[in-house]
Amino acid sequence: MAQNVVIRNIQYSNLPAIDVPKANGQGDARFHDISDSTVSNSNQIRSGVKVYGGDGTPYTGNMTEKAAATYTPTTSDQTIAANQYLTGAQTVKGDPNLLAQNIRKNVSLFGVNGELDPPVVVQDPDTHILRIS
């Protein structure tokens, strides 16, 4: 955010930062306007990163980080917790066989409704021969 400032009775408009020479003569110190910062706690910042809140309060990040992971569907839900910095890709495994024709009729798996009519097996009581229809 830029500010209007007065230095030695001269007004400077719309400045995002001011460079001031260091006392030891080795370069400049840069001062930024941070009054519009929305940081209010260290959990909002990636671990190890240092920032300043709008009032100048320093914050060193301690947000939980989650490395790359692969999730294979199971019979229960798997949750990636909120308020984490994802340091790698999160992959949910797929299966090319998850097709309606491979799932029994009236069964739904991961949102795929089955179309497979299972065969009916009947045994002839006299000949004991199995008939599949």
In this predicted structure, what is the pLDDT of residue 105? 94
- Local confidence pLDDT in tens for the 133 residues of the chain: 688 999 899 999 998 889 999 999 999 999 888 888 888 888 889 999 999 888 888 999 999 999 999 999 998 999 999 999 999 999 999 999 999 999 999 999 999 999 999 888 999 888 888 888 7
- pTM score: 0.58
Q: How far is residue 108's CA from residue 59's CA, in Å, rounded to a whole number?
A: 49
Amino acid at 70: T
- Report domain extents, the chain: 3-41+50-57, 42-49+58-94, 95-133
In this predicted structure, what is the pLDDT of residue 1? 63
